[in-house]
Chain A
Amino acid sequence: MKTANRISASVIILICLLMFQQATQIQDMAYHLSSNRTFPYMTIGFVLLLAVSLLVTTFVSGPTTAFANGYWKRVIGGKRLIVLGSFCIYLFVLPIVGFLPTSAAFIVLMTVFLSPRIRHDLPAALAIAVGVVGVCYVVFVYWLQFYLP
């Protein structure tokens, strides 16, 4: 937990510094009694202070709760990462190919990938993909008259 806290606190400190640099560029309005920068400075300073405190506690405090065995392997490895990656690809392909085919393909591929019994689940995956895409089309395009990407 300590290493994770150290890394997260350091990243947050870096973000705060970046935000602080941006805050110095905020245009101030002369007719305002209170500055445009007051609240941003307050917020960034507050988070910076807390992140530094978190970083300090990782060096001075006693033993902390450890993550369970295999925790990080589960978090950043295996199926979760593949699903996340596929979802990112889906979102970037979506405006190019269109919602209906991309979504149907995503549902089928993901179900097949996640399924422990591929043969058994494939027909259901196909049916669900067609059903979901169809319902989305009816609800969003016909009923609510929205556009689909």
Chain B
Amino acid sequence: MWDQYVTSFGLVATPQIILSIAAGVLGGLFVGAMPGLTSTMAIALLVPVTFGMEPVHGLSLLMGVYCGGISGGFVASCLLNIPGTPSSAATCLDGFPMSKNGQAPRALALAGYSSMIGGCLSGVCLVVIAPTLANFALRFGPWEYFALVIFTFSCVSSLSSGSTLKSFIAAGLGLMFALVGTDPSNGVVRFDFGFEDLESGFDVMPALIGVFAIPQLLEDIDDIGVEAHLIACNIKFADYMSAAREIWHHKIEVIRSTVIGVVIGILPGVGPGLSNVVAYAQARTASKTPEKFGQGVLPEAIIAPETANNASMGGAMIPLLTLGIPGDASTLMMLGAFMLHNIQPGPLLFRDNGDIVYAIFIAYFIAFGFLLLFLHFCLKPIIKAIVVPAQFMIPVLLVLCTIGCFSLNNRMFDVYCFLGFGLVGYVLKQLKYPLLPVILGLILGHMAEQQLRLSLTLSSGSLLPFVTRPISAVLLLISAASLLMPYFAARRQEKRRMAILVTPPED
């Protein structure tokens, strides 16, 4: 293993790749800091650009963007009270009041250092857990893989906000999109509706970019003309040092939030967006002074969510690299990038492309090194960038997405797919359907079909091995349990509500 690290270090340690990672982190920080732009969009914009690069180069650049994008969200949360990315939503609760109390440098330094520490600790988890899980996953047969896809959909649907039924419909729509084109097993063309262009099916990247970028950009139009009140801030080196001391005093909080972040990150379909809220709630529960949460006084109220959201990054990379299942929207984009470079994430990735995997690990830590550097030296321009008016960003991003989609295969059909999926995404989003299951369905559809067919062929058409093979049975059991979970949670909540209504008030 160490040999592979040395080899991979040789691959990454070139001026070009190091500079790409640095540029990625800086760009990601800017994008993440701007409200309305997310790390997912930053990766979406850059994936087509990486097409012309070597896989290690391209993926390292995207890793930098991912680190910067997730981390940058805290800037707008602390200074504008608007989360730069959904992963920093809970940081607003105490980050902004702290800044309002005249302690903006303290809030930013705490959030920045916590992000960096959370990311690094989850990187250690990634390096330790991923190879072990990949080894374990080598035992998987087609039954286990099909059960894993079912597990992914059930997880995404039960954990996503809103109606579970709608989440499943969204996943089903994604699977239906995956049906269009050539059958992956025998080359039979189907669902092409007589259009020649549809014979090869939908390319994943234009669909991904369309579904995530167009609805977001259209919604951003509403923010145009809204006056942003940015809190002035002049952060110094001493602020970082005192933040480091405060974080050291709250090391238990850091460890707890890291564990929360990694575990939530590993779960398919949910990532930093949920982990920061859960970590904040846990920090409040564990606090001796929970009444002070929300007042911008307690450092742990910033440390917990910021550590957790970055810890989710390492967690989300684990299922992506070992099983080919993305943990969140950003890793979904990363999966698209892998596919673009003809690399199939999964347990065999460690055997067949071990050098690339270890290079990604190394790029991950280098990215956090640059994050630390940029937090010290580039925070001022990043703060200025968060008030860039949306009227400039929206048309520019639409043009960049268009050229990105065109460059994938040099054909306008991909651009029209981008538009089509964008429209579908926009309509679904407005009707409160989650978008992540749609894309998961599109990406995992082929895998599900191939594994189901293979399993049925190997078992001569019998479905029994799905429940008699232990791993597959456990995965299906957890899937069933996760489906029932929202129902029971809703019933418990209803019971509690009724109990409160029935209990007579005390005199």
Evaluate whether A36 and B188 lie within 8 angstroms (CB atoms) in the complex, with A47-B169, A47-B173, A91-B416 already known.
yes
Cα–Cα distance between A47 and B173 once the two chains are bound (Å): 7
- Quick check: B431 and A50 within 8 Å, CB to CB? no
Contacts of A50 in B (CB 8 A): 165, 168-169, 172
B71-79, B279-287, B396-404, B496-504: which lies at the interface: B396-404
- A87 touching B419, Cβ below 8 Å: yes
| CB contact between A40 and one of B179, B218, B221 (< 8 Å): that residue | B179
Shortest C-beta distance, A103 to chain B (Å), equals: 5
Given the complex, which residues of A lie within 8 Å of B168, measured CB to CB?
46, 50
- A125 CA / B396 CA spacing, docked (Å): 10
Is B452 in contact with A107, judged by CB distance below 8 angstroms?
no
Return the contact of B176 from the options A47, A115, A140 (Cβ within 8 A). A47
Kindly supply a per-residue 1/0 record for chain B positions 218-237, scoring 1 wherever the CB is within 8 Å of any chain A CB and 0 otherwise.
Answer: 11011011000000000000
Chain A hits for B460, CB < 8 A: 33
Stretch at the interface among B121-129, B407-415, B476-484: B407-415
A87 CA to B415 CA in the complex, in Å?
11
Closest to B188 in A: A27
Give Cα distance in the complex from A18 to B401, angstroms.
31
B456 within 8 A of partner (CB):
yes
8 Å CB contact of A34 from B188, B403, B445, B453: B453
Instruction: Return A135 CB to nearest CB of chain B, in Å.
Output: 9
Q: How far is the CB of A9 from chain B (nearest CB, A)?
A: 8
- Flag if A145 contacts B52 (CB, 8 Å): yes
Interface residues of B in 416-437 (CB under 8 A from A): 416, 419, 423, 426, 430-433
Q: Which of B193, B222, B457 contacts A32 (CB 8 A)?
A: B457
Residues in B neighbouring A116, C-beta threshold 8 A: 224-225, 391
Q: B166 on the interface (CB 8 Å rule)?
A: yes
- Kindly state the separation between the CA atoms of A56 and B423 in the bound complex, as whole angstroms: 26
* B-contact bits for A22-61, CB 8 A (1 contact / 0 none): 1101110100111010111011101100110110010000
Q: Does A149 contact B (CB under 8 A)?
A: yes
Least CB distance from A109 to B in Å reads 8
From residue B377, how far is it (CB to closest CB) to chain A in Å? 24
Partner of A146, one of B169, B410, B423, B461: B410
Q: Looking at chain B's contact residues, is the secondary structure mostly helix, strand, loop, or mixed?
A: helix
B415 touches A146 (CB 8 A): no
Question: Assuming the A-B contacts A87-B419, A106-B395, A132-B400, are A54 and B193 also in contact, with contact meaning beta carbons closer than 8 angstroms in the complex?
Answer: no
Instruction: Say yes or no: B456 contacts A33, CB within 8 Å.
Output: yes
Residues of A with C-beta under 8 A to B457: 32-34
Enumerate chain B residues within 8 angstroms of A144, measured Cβ to Cβ.
49, 51-52, 407
CB neighbours (8 Å) of A125 from chain B are: 392
Bound-complex Cα distance A88 to B214 (A) = 12
The answer to whether the Cβ of B191 comes within 8 Å of any Cβ in the partner chain is yes
Which chain A residue shows the least CB distance to B175? A43
Cross-chain contact of B402 among A38, A44, A94 (Cβ < 8 A): A94
Shortest Cβ distance from residue A137 to the other chain B in the assembled complex, whole angstroms: 10
What would be 15 A-B contacts, judged by CB atoms less than 8 Å apart?
A: A8-B433, A22-B191, A36-B183, A36-B186, A43-B172, A43-B445, A47-B172, A50-B168, A50-B172, A87-B419, A103-B403, A110-B398, A115-B391, A121-B391, A144-B49
B residues touching A (Cβ–Cβ < 8 Å)? 49, 51-52, 165-166, 168-169, 172-173, 175-176, 179, 183, 185-186, 188, 190-191, 193, 218-219, 221-222, 224-225, 389-392, 394-396, 398-400, 402-403, 406-407, 410, 412, 415-416, 419, 423, 426, 430-433, 445, 448-449, 452-453, 456-457, 460-461
Closest 9 A-B residue pairs measured CB to CB? A47-B172, A110-B395, A114-B391, A144-B52, A34-B456, A116-B225, A39-B449, A107-B395, A146-B407
